[in-house]
Structure 1
Amino acid sequence: MDHTTSLSEVHQSVDTTARSRWRKLLSFFGPAYLVSVGYMDPGNWATDLAGGSQYGYKLLWVLLMSNLMALLLQSLSARLGIVRGRDLAQANRETYPRPINFVLYLLAEVAIAATDLAEVLGMAIGIQLLTGLPLAWGVSITVLDTFLLLILQRYGIRKMEAFIISLVAIVGISFLTELVLAKPLMSEVVTGFVPGIPDNTALYIAIGIIGATVMPHNLYLHSALVQTRKIQRDNGGIKQALKLNFIDSAVALNLAFFVNAAILILAATVFFKTGRTDIAEIQDAHQLLEQLLGNKVAPILFAVALIAAGQSSTVTGTLAGQIVMEGYLRLRINPWLRRLITRLLAIVPALLTILIAGDDKVGELLVFSQVLLSLQLGFAIIPLIHFVSDKSTMGEYAVKPLTKAVSWLITGILVYLNLRMVFTEAYSYITQGGNGWIDALIIAGGVGFVLLLVITVVYPLLSRYRQTASVRIHPSQLSLGPMEKPQYNRIAMALDFSKQDEQVISNAVAYGNEQTEYILIHIVESASARYFGKESDDFETRKDQEQMDTYVALLRERNIPAKGVLGYRHRAKEIVRIVKEEKADFLVLGGHGHTGIRDWVFGETANEVRHQVKIPVLVVQ
């Protein structure tokens, strides 16, 4: 497995070559649907409901503008992944200095945590609406979906995409039904596409809508997901991939726009027009739907769609977290652990808010999470535009001047709106007699925010990617040098006393020579051995010693120098310890072949061992 690629487990796992026209077309469809999930997660619901109930149809144009922005930016993200074979996090690592990269990494993690916060709250609210379970319990239960991604990954990227598309379909059908029940007047709806911001509260909600729609983690995600497609790397193949991925993005994001518009129109029709402009909470909206529409199906569909939206966002949020961590830090951790950390970072603030401020503040927390997302946007978009505009790395696939100009215009609008909101909120707090220390922190944070924006804009223009890491898929000149067969003098082999041992021993002997000595290792894992270690003298320990002596004797009969060593307690740690003590210069392991949850339950010995030894390791399946 190549750990330098994005999502290496599924990298180029979908073959788009040598197929019929329709099969080829369908093979490209999928990545944008996973991305579109982020455009209709529970965070969007909160901002759409707030906008529709307070301002009627007046903020519909914000949704449309956000969707057009998203389509352009996601197509740029896909272009980066297709042409350069890099996701956004990897490209950033190769471009910016280490301190700047670390800050960008932290901001990306904050964005993912904010996204997961919205998912946690949305799913908890949906569970509460369907079952009546207290919100705090619903939030706690959401930790159980940590292993959903592991189950889906076992079946490959296409099955994962099918699962997500099914959930998206549930959300879409639910809201289509809601709109039919609400019966909005289309002549009034179209007036919402005339631009205008009534007041500062509308600006705050508009920025929240933009943050909920154009999400920074989706730019990281899309640039990696397109690399799950194996394409022909010639001029025609790349152009075809760019074209079909744009179509994929256009269809998926327009579906997301329909869902968001449906929520806002529903809120405007049912709440704003009946004078209920105070509806900003998802729970209130659910309770009033039956009362105002006179239909019991509407609130049930609302809750089901909410759970489906939150659950689908869970999967894509975890993938984005994996991409960000591997790209920036080149750090790979188990998906279940990554998921658990992300989920806990979301659950803690959600529980604190519910326990301290009460259920009434959940809606405000949802909107705040989306505003927080919007603040991170510039730090994802600015580097992305730099990368896809650079002809030295993109060649003829660099974006045209018009696309580049529109992209910078969008960035300018988003950054201006964010700066205006930050300044307005900070000024309002300070002038109303805020705390001195907090005032200082707000000012310092604002200055740091602006300074980092300037650096992300200017640094690539000045440095022109003078990073030591190669930005090419392969270096321009290759030289292998003299290739001599390595000589191993002490080869260790880890045995589990199964049928696989013969393969492990055969491979180990194949890498040796006449002078090589072989160290046979087995770890005793009985309850007694785990507690007493080498002092153990239980039945399993004795039988393991007998088996080891048999193996050693069989090898010596063939004039192969061998010795056996038993280890105890922790399998991986003991193998590493014995390898180091015996000064082995090569190690052969058997791969157990477990995947998903079984991999976590039974352990990942091979992975753990190879990261702790500094000698070549061969894993025999």
Structure 2
Amino acid sequence: MNPQPPDIAYAPPAPEQHGVDPKTGRGFLARGRFLGLIGPAFVAAVAFVDPGNVATNISAGIDYRYMLIWAVVSACLMAMFVQYLAAKLGLATGRSLAEVCRDHTSTPVRLGLWLVAEAVVIMTDLAEFVGGAVALNLLFDISLFNGGLIVAAATMVILRVRLRGREGFSAVVVGLLFVLALAFLYLVVNSPLDPVAAVSGLVPRLPDSRSALLACGIIGATVMPHAVFLHSSLIGGLSPDRQGTLRTQAVLRFLRRDVIIALGVAGVVNLLMLLVATSLPAGNGDSLVSVHAAFLDRSGAVFAAVFAVALLASGLASACAGVYSGQAVMQGFLRRNSSVWLRRAVSSVPALVVLALVTDPTEALVFSQVALAFGLPFALVPLMIFTARRDLMGAFANRVRTTFFGVVVTTVVLALNGFVIIDLVLTG
């Protein structure tokens, strides 16, 4: 058995010694901790509304109308649960999931988990760059490759804000999240909807293999594996002493509320994406370009421009979160810090290659989300194992019902993945 690092064992200090009311948590408000606790949940939530979500939800809405609403809602609830566990792990241990995996798994397992996590980050970067480049092409007729270069430069500027202080970075990223939310709210308000059909979409069903592929993509795009590493890292590094002064039930309640609100906003945005696409005629879901053209023909230039702006905000915000996810993965698994600038430059290469070689990368966006769904169990299984261990989590260890629900979530993901693999094998 691996030796137990001394700062992982749960030994909460007396909350009163740090000016914290253990019942209300008011000490955090007085000490300016509130924004520090709000920021991580919303920064992580940005990962759930990236261009891959836009492509997958739009495709689902056009091809199956309201039929896959249940998949969006289920994915949102699963994301809330998973991100709460990630935040709880960071709070209880003062470490990210990657760091805990490094310290409590064998070398072959650790390397395998690291390679899968890196592949997940690459797929995430692909979706973010491609989505932002497509948005710039729709807004300003910029080529996809040049648009990718602009997205890379814009994220560098936002990351510069991050280096000057977390609060400023969080404000920028959360601001982009709400731009995205308001844009899709505008689109839905100005779109014809069928409330009865929308309610019927809450009943789970998969009429064919294509719907299963999209459902798998919706889950992969919403329950993002790299966000698990990111959120646990943000919470684990919240205080200089690795959480020694913050391990209280009051803080855990703050984090739970944070996750519900932040992921609730992200879930509503995902639902709005699907709803706005239900008004488009079948055959327009092959690409984001064709979706934009359909909006332009049906509702006018303003409507189409708002859609493109939403896509751009999605790409910029999630690209910044993706960089820090990659850093958390490398630092956690390998104990190696990577330059944020180098990480951004390297992660741009695969996306720029795709943008240079293809004329319509929307299908790549959808399949990148399916790839994320396949990578999800490699984050979920360790998360469930470690958060159930009392020697790691102490009083924050999962209850039996929490572990049971985690097993159900993981089983659903594995079942969807298995369905897609069988379908791909049978259909060639």
Q: TM-score, normalised by structure 2?
A: 0.90
Matching of residues 6-21 of structure 1 within 5 Å = 18-20=27-29
**2:286 aligned with 1:287, yes or no?**
no
Matching of residues 294-309 of structure 1 within 5 Å = 295-309=300-314
2:16 match: none
Q: Deviations over 1:367-393 (max 9, x none)?
A: 110011111000000000000001122
1:221 match: 230
How far did residue 50 of structure 1 move? 0.8
Distance 1:20 1:91 in 2: 29
**2:321 aligned with 1:316, yes or no?**
yes
% same residue: 33
Distance 1:392 1:133 in 2: 55
Matching of residues 1-400 of structure 1 within 5 Å = 18-20=27-29, 25-145=34-154, 147-230=156-239, 233=244, 237-268=247-278, 270-271=279-280, 275-293=281-299, 295-352=300-357, 354=358, 359-360=359-360, 362-400=361-399
Q: Counterpart of 1:188 in 2: which secondary structure?
A: helix
User: Are the structure 2 counterparts of residues 317 and 29 from structure 1 closer, same or farther at C-alpha, using a change threshold of 3 Å?
Assistant: same
Q: Counterpart of 2:199 in 1: which secondary structure?
A: helix
Q: Return the letter of the residue paired with 1:390.
A: R
How far did residue 23 of structure 1 move? 5.5
Matching of residues 545-556 of structure 1 within 5 Å = none
Q: Deviations over 1:114-136 (max 9, x none)?
A: 01100111001100011112223
Distance 1:418 1:27 in 2: 36
1:416 match: 415
Q: Counterpart of 1:29 in 2: which secondary structure?
A: helix
User: Are the structure 2 counterparts of residues 192 and 297 from structure 1 closer, same or farther at C-alpha, using a change threshold of 3 Å?
Assistant: same
Q: Counterpart of 1:182 in 2: which secondary structure?
A: coil
User: Are the structure 2 counterparts of residues 335 and 20 from structure 1 closer, same or farther at C-alpha, using a change threshold of 3 Å?
Assistant: closer
Q: Deviations over 1:18-37 (max 9, x none)?
A: 45469654442111111111
Q: Which moved more, 1:312-321 or 1:338-347?
A: 338-347
User: Are the structure 2 counterparts of residues 351 and 100 from structure 1 closer, same or farther at C-alpha, using a change threshold of 3 Å?
Assistant: farther
Distance 2:391 2:31 in 1: 35
Q: Which moved more, 1:241-250 or 1:25-34?
A: 25-34
Q: Deviations over 1:524-565 (max 9, x none)?
A: xxxxxxxxxxxxxxxxxxxxxxxxxxxxxxxxxxxxxxxxxx
Q: Counterpart of 1:174 in 2: which secondary structure?
A: helix
Distance 2:330 2:264 in 1: 30
Q: Deviations over 1:175-197 (max 9, x none)?
A: 11111110313222211111111
Distance 2:349 2:155 in 1: 10
Structure of higher RCO (CA pairs closer than 8 Å, 6+ residues apart) = 2
Q: Deviations over 1:187-245 (max 9, x none)?
A: 222111111111000000110111100010000000011134339747x9521111101
Q: Return the letter of the residue paired with 2:310.
A: A
* Aligned residues of 1:148 and 1:315 also touching (Cα < 8 A): no
How far did residue 139 of structure 1 move? 2.6
Q: Counterpart of 2:190 in 1: which secondary structure?
A: helix
**Would you tell me which structure has more helix in proportion to its own residues?**
2
What are structure 2's unaligned runs of at least 5 residues?
A: 1-6, 8-19
Q: Return the letter of the residue paired with 1:285.
A: V
1:428 match: 427
User: Are the structure 2 counterparts of residues 159 and 143 from structure 1 closer, same or farther at C-alpha, using a change threshold of 3 Å?
Assistant: closer
- What is the RMSD of the two structures over their aligned residues, measured on CA atoms? 2.1
Distance 2:34 2:346 in 1: 37
The structure with the larger Rg is 1
Distance 1:138 1:79 in 2: 38
Distance 1:148 1:325 in 2: 22
Q: How many residues end up aligned between the 2 structures?
A: 405
* Aligned residues of 1:46 and 1:280 also touching (Cα < 8 A): no
Q: Counterpart of 1:57 in 2: which secondary structure?
A: coil
Q: Return the letter of the residue paired with 1:252.
A: A
Q: Return the letter of the residue paired with 1:375.
A: F
